[in-house]
Structure 1
């Protein structure tokens, strides 16, 4: 099986540094924040589509634009790119989510992927009116997905579960094709949900040995229920023509982070109920170091997690080195790679023109659009 590469849409803003964009901090004269307007996001979507990404993850949360609405508007700005829409079961009913997915599939010609986010930040959950505890949120996610899948199968559903209650729910039109469900979580309850309901289990970019453990864990849980699950990984990327140039960029990112911002962000992340978030924090231990000191496995850099929640690691290196690391995860069983980089427009081209062709040469990846003619035009008077 060849691997699938996805990109990311920064619906909170973008910049040339790790602390610009959604963090609202400009660090250099050439580091102005880029608003997450449709014009800029459409540039990223078209770039991702051109270089060969299958889809693009769009995040969810109070700190970014709504993923459903934004991607619905962007669908008309692209032809093939799929949209991995993140959403939280606690803020809409399963019937509405199933209906939205069916509508999206119909109008986008089947370009929807769904990333179900249970939620690990209590303050943000309460801001949306969700006051359930962590374990109950996972119970709700499982019941939610059960209802959604049954609706997509054309059933009329009545269910009175611990958290989800619906009566005589049905769809007038089911999605075609049914969108695959992506999901991540490191707690035991998360494993139960993944094994029972999801198509792709996502992990943040931990070192290979830890990723292997997660794959074996979820694969075993799924097998016990007679199911198979695919595996994906969420990583940032800093790739350049040479290793030195990539690490110089990582060092530049690090130099642009104010000490007080690290302290503030880490104080907030320390309150997270997400086990995955705490595993990210453990990789960098919350302190400033040189870029090289934050290399927690070959070419795996934990510097992003100093100032950003969620995925906090990046693959750093030459195009060949980054391809080596992707192949290493692929050999463990990871087939879907959700990548990003700063700025997202430029880094999409670095990855798409440097790393993806190297993976293609190894027989691990092929352009979703098929063979792409990359023959350069003849230049008059060049001979």
Structure 2
């Protein structure tokens, strides 16, 4: 398994819908999280995208110099940037980070937000544009000169003179649940990402993407985006889940449901259908809790339980073909430590060891050997 964490570039919270304890997404705070997860042994971090988030490429470029091994999954946005400009930015950051850049292709799912960015294409047209964008983006890395004349994009004598550390280009990640999105994934993508849906639903998507990719003579890897609430006991984990949403009232849920309804994202529709705004039916699969999705877009589910239980649920996804787990928890700094300390020893991952093999002196006398995480 590869375990990623999340950099909350639109702010962080202890409880949803509660301003007490909220934290701005300052550079210092984002740096704290990045350095913590780098030292704890996470493979990488997802940097989100959207009008409420700090710009991902700039965030990654400031965090790469203060970390050592961490990979950065950063969004490119077809329709908001040209493929040649995106390719140049990607090539530069890949070189300057010594091959630690991963590309998250985001077509967008909120027509209101997209209109504010100057994009007025419907759902399927956005994926047609994304297909053309990725044809050009990939060709720039693999051909001396690129000429392309599509329905949405055109380029003449395009060139990318900057070599990358990763060959042929930084790996492409992508999430989307519609038929149009799945075809784009099969045609272009290295790692297909799914939201944290119940395993049976995830299996259907994986099987479909595999079949579509095989028809193109390709293989695709798979990842999943989830929150996680892991505690020493199952009871403590469910208590923490309840506390996370104890300030989420019915009015807030209703307003969030209206916002979700305007979106044309199939993935968001499926996330919303898991609970339909009903806070009495949030365990949508064993230990898979949809409480976050009552009021937050995107990843709306969390694995909840003690370390053995959460590890077993993750293994169920791994058995379906999931290799990369992109996790998060509120607040992200503390939960990065809690997840690594409790969960990592239960997972089939390369564990980071204390390089000096130190012991720690108990205040009551005697040495305490730290867990290797």
| TM norm structure 1 | 0.92
Give 2:227's aligned residue: 236
Going from structure 1 to structure 2, the CA distance change for 1:307 and 1:380 (only over 3 Å counts) comes to closer
Is 1:156 the counterpart of 2:154 in the alignment? no
Paired residues for 1:17-32 under 5 Å: 17-19=15-17, 25-26=18-19, 31-32=20-21
Q: Is the 8 A contact 1:12 1:63 kept in 2?
A: yes
1: CA distance between counterparts of 2:340 and 2:356? 15
1: CA distance between counterparts of 2:110 and 2:320? 30
CA deviation string 1:349-371 (max 9, x = no partner): 11111111111xxxx2113x678
2: CA distance between counterparts of 1:135 and 1:85? 23
Is 1:142 the counterpart of 2:131 in the alignment? yes
Q: Is the 8 A contact 1:233 1:338 kept in 2?
A: yes
Give 1:376's aligned residue: 359
Give 2:178's aligned residue: 187
What do you get for the CA RMSD once the two structures are aligned?
1.5
2: CA distance between counterparts of 1:238 and 1:175? 37
Paired residues for 1:105-120 under 5 Å: 105-120=94-109
1: CA distance between counterparts of 2:354 and 2:222? 26
Question: How many matched pairs?
Answer: 364
Q: Residue 33 of structure 1: CA displacement?
A: 1.2
Q: Residue 87 of structure 1: CA displacement?
A: 2.7
Paired residues for 1:73-92 under 5 Å: 73-92=62-81
CA deviation string 1:229-256 (max 9, x = no partner): 0000000011111110010011111212
Q: Is the 8 A contact 2:76 2:86 kept in 1?
A: no
Residue among 49, 57, 81 paired with 1:60: 49
CA deviation string 1:107-164 (max 9, x = no partner): 1111100110111111111111111111111011111111111111143101011111
Q: Residue 380 of structure 1: CA displacement?
A: 8.2
**SS of match in other structure, 1:6:** strand
Give 1:273's aligned residue: 264
Residue among 311, 316, 325 paired with 1:328: 316
Q: Is the 8 A contact 1:91 1:128 kept in 2?
A: yes
Q: Is the 8 A contact 1:14 1:342 kept in 2?
A: yes
Give 1:366's aligned residue: 350
Give 2:8's aligned residue: 10
| TM norm structure 2 | 0.95
Give 2:300's aligned residue: 312
Paired residues for 1:229-308 under 5 Å: 229-289=220-280, 293-308=281-296
Q: Residue 227 of structure 1: CA displacement?
A: 0.1
1: CA distance between counterparts of 2:42 and 2:78? 27
Going from structure 1 to structure 2, the CA distance change for 1:374 and 1:329 (only over 3 Å counts) comes to farther
2: CA distance between counterparts of 1:380 and 1:86? 47
2: CA distance between counterparts of 1:216 and 1:280? 19
1: CA distance between counterparts of 2:113 and 2:365? 60
Gaps of 5+ in 1: 20-24
Going from structure 1 to structure 2, the CA distance change for 1:37 and 1:195 (only over 3 Å counts) comes to same
**SS of match in other structure, 1:183:** strand
Is 1:345 the counterpart of 2:333 in the alignment? yes
**SS of match in other structure, 1:349:** helix
CA deviation string 1:289-328 (max 9, x = no partner): 2xxx411111100111001000110000011111111111
Q: Structure 1 segments of 4 or more deviating over 6 A?
A: none
**SS of match in other structure, 1:233:** strand
